[in-house]
Structure formats: C-alpha cells, structure tokens
C-alpha cells in the first residue's frame, strides 16, 4: 500500500480548515496531520470537535513555531508511519485538494524527485506588492540554486518522497515563511531533481 501523509500547518485558519478537509478524498491518503501552531483561534480544537475522522490526527503546539517550524514538527511526527511521501498544504484553502491525486501519482512515478506546486500568478487576485515580492524571491532562488526553470518558489504545496525526507537535516531549515525556499536550496545542494 502506498502511504501518503498530508501535513496541514494551521494558524488563524479556522474559517477555512473544515471546508478544506471536506474537499479531500481520504481514499487517496493514509493520514492527515493537523498542526495547530499555537493558534489563538483554537483551530486544532475546532477540527477535533467538528471533524472526527480516524485518518485525521491533531497536534496542538504549546509554542508558536512559525509555518516552517510547524511543518517540520509534522514531518517528524509522520516519520513513525514510514510514508512513501509527505505532502504539505496550507490550511487557508489556497491549495486546492483536487490536485492531491496529481501530486501522488506524479510522486509514484518519480520516487526520487521533490514535487513543487506553482500558481499562474498573473491570473490571481494578489496585491502587487506580494506579486512583486514573490517574483523577486523566485529570481534569487533561481540564481542561487542554478534552477532557472523554477516558478513561484513561495508556493507551499509540496511533496517530499521518502528518498528525500529521510536525508534532510531539518535543523538547518527556516522556521518561518522561508521554509520552502530553504528546502529548495537544500534539495538543490543535494542534487535531487525538482518537478513542478
């Protein structure tokens, strides 16, 4: 059986998380780990009360670790299941779960590759300052990693296969919003291939 673990770091996403979970096809995944990053709005408790499902496990952190720290916590907790891949999606609904099948099937075909989601930023209703910031960060990461084909490096919809997640020193990765960029940089240094 192919095991996919979904990690969803949560901070102030109580208005989105239940709708997001309802859109997930649970037949395709082994387990979902909800990581409540010491959310003041008690997102984790909301999930525990209103979405009781055996494939969903909720962790409530005593201290806010940041989105990267919460993701790293989720990755470490998922290791006991020895998943074939770990997929991280954001709890605010910006990543459509309908693409999970695509991620999983692509990962099955490419067990040695890191899979990165991307958005067509020109079509999204994003403030120009954020759009410009994302563009600049993408250009910098392209140059630093020599991966000049990378798109939207700030997107957090990712899949990490066992061959990669078991070879990462998570202490070296950022705990904040630069987690994904750090991960790309680290993976590039290790010469792993990135698929988008």
Cα separation of 120 and 75, whole Å?
28
- In degrees and rounded to multiples of 5, residue 79 shows phi and psi of -60, -30
Q: Tell me what percent of the residues of the chain surpass a pLDDT of 90.
A: 67
Would residue 124 be called left, alpha or beta, if left means φ above 0 and alpha means ψ between -120 and 50 degrees? beta
Q: What is the pLDDT of residues 141-190, one digit of tens each?
A: 666 676 777 777 677 899 999 999 999 998 889 999 889 888 988 888 88
Q: In sequence order, which residues have a C-beta less than 8 Å from that of residue 112 and are 6 or more positions away? A: 161, 163, 164, 192, 193
64-68, 90-94, 153-157: lowest mean pLDDT where?
153-157
User: Is pLDDT larger for residue 84 or for residue 169?
Assistant: 84
């Amino acid at each position: 059986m192919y095991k996919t673990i979904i990690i969803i770091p949560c901070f102030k996403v109580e208005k989105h998380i239940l709708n997001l979970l309802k859109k997930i096809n649970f037949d395709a995944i082994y387990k979902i780990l909800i990581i409540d990053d010491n959310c003041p709005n008690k997102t984790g408790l909301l999930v525990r009360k209103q979405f009781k499902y055996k494939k969903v496990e909720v962790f409530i952190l005593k201290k806010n670790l940041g989105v990267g720290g919460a993701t790293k916590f989720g990755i470490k907790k998922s290791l006991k299941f020895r998943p074939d891949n770990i997929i991280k999606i954001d709890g605010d609904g910006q990543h459509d779960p309908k693409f999970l099948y695509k991620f999983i099937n692509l990962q099955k075909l490419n067990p040695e590759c890191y899979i990165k989601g991307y958005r067509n930023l020109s079509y999204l209703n994003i403030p120009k300052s954020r759009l410009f910031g994302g563009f600049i960060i993408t250009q910098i990461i392209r140059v630093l990693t020599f991966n000049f084909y990378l798109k939207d490096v700030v997107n957090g919809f990712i899949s990490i296969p066992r061959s990669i997640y078991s070879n990462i020193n998570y202490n070296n990765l950022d705990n904040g919003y630069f987690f994904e960029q750090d991960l790309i940089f680290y993976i590039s240094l290790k010469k792993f291939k990135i698929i988008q």
